[in-house]
Amino acid sequence: MIGVKVKDNESIDRAINRFKKMVTRSRVLNEYKERQQYTKPSEERREALKKSIREERRRQRDNY
């Protein structure tokens, strides 16, 4: 579980920002959103294939 202790002489806003960074880095919200809806394994494979094709095209475009 993620927690943030407020340091001495630190504002609450700064502690909240640190907490938000920790949440985004831990990918808790991403996992939560993925679990909201069931996706079939075939759809996951299809999306992964599309993503790999896009990344490969981007790499080839950047190499020129």
Expressed as residue numbers, the domain containing 44 is: 12-63
Residue range 12-52, pLDDT digits in tens: 999 999 999 999 999 988 899 989 999 999 999 999 999 99
Please report the pLDDT score of residue 63 as a whole number: 78
Structurally, the chain folds into a number of domains equal to 1
Please report the pLDDT score of residue 56 as a whole number: 94
Confidence class for position 3, pLDDT limits 50, 70, 90: confident
Please report the pLDDT score of residue 38 as a whole number: 93
pLDDT at 64 over 80: no
Q: Is residue 26 part of a domain?
A: yes
Q: Is residue 37 part of a domain?
A: yes
Q: Is residue 2 part of a domain?
A: no
Please report the pLDDT score of residue 1 as a whole number: 76
Q: Is residue 6 part of a domain?
A: no
Query: What would the DSSP string read from start to end of 4-63?
Result: -PPPTT--HHHHHHHHHHHHHHHTHHHHHHHHHS---HHHHHHHHHHHHHHHHHHHHHHH
